[in-house]
Chain A
């Protein structure tokens, strides 16, 4: 319990959770916004979603947006992992060391 309090008060812990919280939130907002736009398009702008990218074409904005959300999900997960491995884990290791773990 005492350990936890020490950790909670540690400035590195504060920095750790603040940056991580921001990054998590930013990524979540990006993907939720993308999905939200796609759903809103279906619900409120079906005519736009049915419109082809170019006249006479068959690829519509709707299908494109579905593909974009799927690909965004893949890319954002990759970026997040990359950031966490590079920054969060390093900071966390420093914190644990200073608190006397491993």
Chain B
């Protein structure tokens, strides 16, 4: 009976609600179109018109993709891994899209605007991480796993404890990352479209649930892909216009920026943002190794046909990201030249309109006018949608695949059950992120994002890389290491300046740095090693002996069953 009801509900949702979403999203579009066909007398609001109509075009297009993807998404394999049918260039562009996020385009530009050179580490760290993922991890992951990186970690270890602790690490990363994205999205929509913050968060969550629960990985990938291409086009245009304005000379760009910025030549070298060597090394470690432990990124390796395609897609991703980060350097310093001190972008009190994260959009307006601003605003919003969709999907995969099916459910699980549980997990994650997004509205979200990366670097990355390369790792070592990494990274962030002083209001932080990775990541590794070598149980011997088979499969793909081949 209950099964019948849930099936009916599912059918109702997909048959009735989906067209309703279409109507809702097309309706304002036609209104906007009718409005903008007339003469634009208002004058003051062309930005909103352009931005809002682009926004609705995008939403309508992505819902169309979702509808198309929903018809092709039938099994769990389709849902999490798009049936393994994503082409390398598509997957690579989507991976790049995950990194060309609002945090990159708006955040790094804003950070360069404020601090100059020090902010570049946010881009350089990513570009150091990706090639290493390619050289050391991508193909092995594809050969060993099916939906999540936890498959790989638990490959030869005892499933239950390893999956549980890895799932806790994974879900913490996802939730913290989601909060940061949600708050960013809410603020952005509030600012761009004048929509109330709470409604904005609900809207983002609603669209994200829609993409993920109906379209699965196929829709999530295509939304990310399209957005990435749009962002690349927009970024190229802005950087080109900036370079045109400085006569295509980097020398002139940096010199003008140093002339205008109050810190002068200091923006061309280190020291304005990161004050101590430990702070620099910690953020360097967090950037590089945190990325290697992001569940929603690692998940993308399972969407392609085989290891070769996984490899190709990382190459596409690295090239596109590298190109985009080079653009961001130009855009960041360009923002100093053309936005800083430009009275159009400051309020009466001398503060930049919309805060530091908006300088990229102000620059867009300066070089490209209101139409370009509308386009880039819609793309920035799309970026957040695409990233939260990817995060939610990997969260749903962890809950359903790693926890429900592989750990807590005894007995066989039908395909229908799996899809049902993952849809419920998607709704649950959506609801949680709305709640937390609203709760954290006025908090500093930078520390939340840093928490996500720090946990990824201190929990997910150590157990993953050790499981791939160290035959000696045992269940006990993996679980102990993950617990140490988790407790230390969260504990030190709470005791650090991000929470202890900024949120709890104490005068001095107990732990001086924002990023705990300098301590938490090495200690996680040491714990894994120590507990593994001390583990003399028969189980540990069995696990070490299994490494040979894992190694063969990770290198050659021998042993992947037909079903797992997609």
Contact = CB atoms under 8 A, between A and B. Distances in A.
Interface in B124-172: 124-125, 127-128, 130-132, 134-136
B269 A46 contact: yes
Interface stretch (B20-28, B194-202, B314-322): B314-322
Contacts of A58: 251-252, 254-255, 258, 265, 268
Contacts of B281: 39, 43
A32 to B, nearest CB: 7
Chain A interface residue number, banded:
35 or more
Nearest to A65: B124
Contacts of B131: 27-28, 31, 73, 76-77, 80
Interface string B233-271: 000000000000000001110110010000001101111
Contacts of A34: 128
Contact of B135 (A28, A42, A49, A59): A28
Contacts of B319: 74, 77-78
Contact of A62 (B270, B315, B558): B270
A50 B558 contact: no
Contact of B555 (A16, A31, A59, A77): A16
Contacts of B132: 28, 31-32
B35 interface: no
Interface in A38-91: 38-39, 41-44, 46-47, 49-52, 57-60, 62-63, 66-67, 69-71, 73-74, 76-78, 80-81, 84-85, 89
A66 B332 CA distance: 14
B556 interface: yes
Nearest to A38: B124
Contact of A80 (B120, B134, B323): B134
A47 B295 CA distance: 38
Nearest to A24: B135
A43 B280 contact: yes
Given A39-B281, A43-B280, A66 B311 contact: no
B288 interface: yes
B318 A42 contact: no
B551 A35 contact: no
Contact of B318 (A39, A44, A67, A77): A77
Contacts of A73: 127-128, 130-131, 318, 322
Interface in B444-458: none
Interface in B81-130: 117-118, 120-121, 123-125, 127-128, 130
Nearest to B252: A58
B389 interface: no
11 contacts: A13-B555, A34-B128, A35-B284, A38-B124, A49-B117, A58-B251, A62-B268, A63-B254, A70-B127, A73-B127, A85-B308
Given A35-B124, A70-B322, A96-B558, 12 more contacts: A3-B559, A41-B270, A58-B268, A59-B268, A63-B120, A66-B120, A73-B130, A73-B318, A77-B130, A80-B131, A84-B308, A92-B556
By Cβ-Cβ distance, the 5 closest A-B pairs, closest first, are A50-B269, A35-B128, A58-B254, A43-B277, A58-B255
